[in-house]
Amino acid sequence: MRIPSFPQARAREIRVLSVLSAGTFLFFNSYGSINVAIPSIQAEFGNSLSAVQWIATMGLVLSSSVALCLGRAGDMLGRNRLYKAGVTLYGAGAALAAASQTFAQLIACRVVMTAGLAMAMPMSTAITAAVSRPERTGWALGILLSAAGIGRVTGPALGGFFIHLAGWRAVFLANAVIGLAVSVAVWLMLRDRDQRSPEPFDYPGAAALILGYPSFLVGLSLGANSGWRSPFIAWWFVLGGAAMAAFVLRQFRARRPLIPLPVMTNIPLVLAFLTMVLFSAAYFPIFMLSPLYMRNVLEVTPLHLGLILTTLPVVAAVCSPVSGRLSDRMEPWVLVAVGLVAGAAGIVGYAGLQDGSSPAMVLLALALVGIGVGVFLPAHQKTVFALAPREHYGLAGGLLSACGPGAGALGIGLAVSLMEGAGTVEFVAAQRGAMLWLLPLPFLALGLVVIGRLPGWGTMAPGTDAAAGKE
């Protein structure tokens, strides 16, 4: 087999990263654009807010629930193949959603879209890590995260523009056009033969996970409105707990578990994922609390509110490529620690906001959290893929896609439960109390980073990439 020259390999790497970045932009842009369309959809079909809210939350619940299973499937069937199928399915689902004539049809089409999203998202980071040279992996992952940040920032604005132009169907039509264009580019660019590891799939483990994980997320998302002591909510948590217990038991008893034993017993890799879980649970609630605080307490105008809320994703998008490039030149754990400290500083600043705080103080807190997220994520992802066996890159991508949003939903649920019953007058004190409860989490994550550096924990020497020699 002919080995490509260095310029050819670099050109191929850039082409693949470009098309993956376009797909990542599309997926994260669609979150914001579709959220903007919810009021128009409710007005046309006359459904309750709790019903139409599933149009937005379905993507989080479904993609988080099946990402790990599909990540494992990507390792077995081929990561390129699964990514191509996911992007194509997403574009086709968006086209069908634009033509929906009933709310039931729209929900069915959203299921198709989110199934494609769940297939493609874990594969994007896995493919990026696989095609990038070890000395450029951090930079490539940073570019991918920057594309996600840009998509998150521009989504609401583009959604509002398309709705103004031609109604809510134009939002889905735009997603369909861009999705199918990306799909064509993906089929043209990702032509390499997939590395596959054909082996039996753990269907019982996957079924237990798909039943248990979304049950927790549904309970967390509905608990604030239904009441945490409601039997209905308790039923979701009992179902989730039983199914997740069955999943864990299955992983230790199955001959071919969904999470292979080398991954479950890789202590540095487990510590890396726990670090992400703790940090995500700490900062995700700010996404929900900050617009409520600025609108109801500070009485910021909608225009200024929108501009201030872009601070966190914009700063994160700017910092991600820089952090990724630095993680290629120094030990990634240093940048992971810096990101955690910056994020913790932002949480402290946000918890200290008062009734009379200025919007500039909110902007500063959001900027610090954005720096923390932008510095943390690329270095963290580089660490994960450096520690994971190359044949399990799809599984690693699935765990990244599942653990972060799932932990974020857990953090939001905890914050809401701590603030339950707080009106506008009590909002500031309740918000401060909730954030102070969450504040130890990034410091616990920092402690795990320190533990991971202790002798005997299997950490890498400076400048090495454990995955480089695992083919």
Q: Encode pLDDT of 204-250 as tens digits.
A: 878 888 788 778 777 766 665 666 677 777 888 888 888 888 888 88
What CATH number labels 1-198? 1.20.1250.20
Q: Looking at per-residue confidence, does 301 or 334 come out higher?
A: 334
Mean pLDDT of 353-374: 90
DSSP percent split of the chain into helix, strand, coil, nearest 5: 80, 0, 20
Question: Could you report the per-residue pLDDT of 77-99, keeping only the tens digit for each?
Answer: 777 788 888 888 888 888 888 88
Distance, in Å, from the CA atom of 35 to the CA atom of 54, rounded to the nearest integer, reads: 10
Would you state the pLDDT for residue 392? 79
Res. 441: pLDDT tops 80: yes
d(CA 386, CA 101): 48
Q: Average pLDDT, stretch 304-323? A: 85
Q: For residue 188, how many other CB atoms are within 10 A of its CB? A: 10
Is 461's pLDDT higher than 60?
A: no
pLDDT of 375 reads 93
Say if residue 168's pLDDT is above 50.
Answer: yes
137 pLDDT higher than 70? yes
Under a CB-based contact definition with an 8 Å cutoff, are residues 146 and 317 in contact? yes
Over residues 305-334, mean pLDDT: 86
How many residues comprise the chain? Answer: 471
The highest-level CATH class for domain 265-471 is: mainly alpha
Q: How confident is the model at residue 339 (pLDDT cuts 50, 70, 90)?
A: very high
CA-wise closest residue to 403 among 122, 144, 206, 127: 122
Region 56-75: mean pLDDT is 70
Cβ 381 vs Cβ 301: under 8 Å: no
User: For residue 268, which of 443, 135, 451 has the smallest C-alpha distance?
Assistant: 451
Q: Which residue has the higher pLDDT, 141 or 426?
A: 141
**Separation between Cα atoms, residue 89 and residue 179, nearest integer Å:** 9
Residue 148's pLDDT is 83
What does the pLDDT read at residue 68?
74
Task: Flag the least confident range among 18-22, 52-56, 288-292, 458-462.
Answer: 458-462
Predicted local distance difference test score (pLDDT) of residue 204: 83
What is the per-residue DSSP string for 64-81? HHHHHHHHHHHHHH-HHH
Q: What is the mean pLDDT of residues 439-456?
A: 81
Structure token pair of residue 449: 């980073």
Instruction: Give the contacts of 285 (CB within 8 A, at least 6 positions apart).
Output: 411, 412, 414, 415, 434, 435, 438
Q: What is the mean pLDDT of residues 374-403?
A: 84
How many angstroms separate the CA atoms of 287 and 305, rounded?
Answer: 12
Kindly state the DSSP code that residue 444 receives in the 8-state scheme. H
Q: In the prediction, which pLDDT does 275 show? A: 92
Measured over the CA atoms of residue 59, residue 62, residue 68 and residue 72, the dihedral's sign is: negative
